[in-house]
Amino acid sequence: MAVEMEQVRAALDPEEPDYPGAVKSLGPDALPHLERIITGDQTGLAAKAAYLAGLIGTDKCIPAMNKAAASGQAVVRLAAAAAAQYMPDEYRDSLVLQLVDDADVGVQKVAMKSAPAMAVMSDALKSRVVALGKPAGKAPAVKQGAKKAVKKAAATRKKP
């Protein structure tokens, strides 16, 4: 059954949207509407749309997520960074790799938190995360996230 814009707005308008419920009730059919909201002029709503698009989590989300990641509004890019963890592996890694070097430090921090375990990271992302954890790296919160990821990977390797 086709999803109408009104249904998407009804899911996103609440102060505290029920994202898992919205994924269930709307599904991928909501994506064209979410894409429109992401590029619209209501920043708060666009951030919610970006997060929901990522949470839907299939390849079909990629156009919407690309738009969110390229938004001029930091909070929309930040929502994309937060939702990256729910995306298919390959796309998730490239999105995190892009947003971990975003101009906005909040986006960087959230992107770092969305990075997967080192063991399953792409090589490109892995080398970037290692670099970010070094002394000349990014803001404290980002560096801390990177260090944590590297440390966790090392601890994992030590297991018999």
Partner 1 sequence: MAWGTQRGWRWCNKCEGLWFGGNPGSKCPAGGVHSKTGSGNYSLVHQATSAPGQSNWRWCSKCQGLWFGGNPAGACPAGAKHIKTGSGNYTIAHQTGAGQQGWRWCSKCQGMWFAGNNTAGKCPAGQGHSSVGSGSYRQVIVTQRIRVHTKILTVPNISIDTLMHNMREVYATAKIDVEWASTENLNFPSLNDLDVGACTLGNTTAEQNTLFAKRNNVGTNDIAVYFVRSTVPPFNGCAAHPPGKPSAAVVKTATQWTFAHEVGHVLGLFHVNNNDRLMTGNGTSNITNPPPDLAGTEVTTMTNSALTVNV
Binding site for partner 1 (CB under 8 A): 10, 12-17, 19, 42-44, 47-48, 50-51, 74-75, 78-79, 82-83, 105-106, 109-110, 113, 139-141
Nearer to partner 1, 36 or 113 (CB): 113
Nearer to partner 1, 100 or 126 (CB): 100
CB of 158 to partner 1, least distance (A): 25
CB of 51 to partner 1, least distance (A): 5
Nearer to partner 1, 116 or 122 (CB): 116
Q: What radius of gyration do the chain's Cα atoms show? A: 16
First to last CA, the chain: 51
CB of 23 to partner 1, least distance (A): 12
If phi > 0 it is left, if psi is from -120 to 50 it is alpha, else beta; for residue 113 that is alpha
Residue among 66, 68, 57, 69 nearest 20 (CA): 57
Task: Give yes or no for a contact between 83 and 91, defined as CB atoms under 8 angstroms apart.
Answer: no
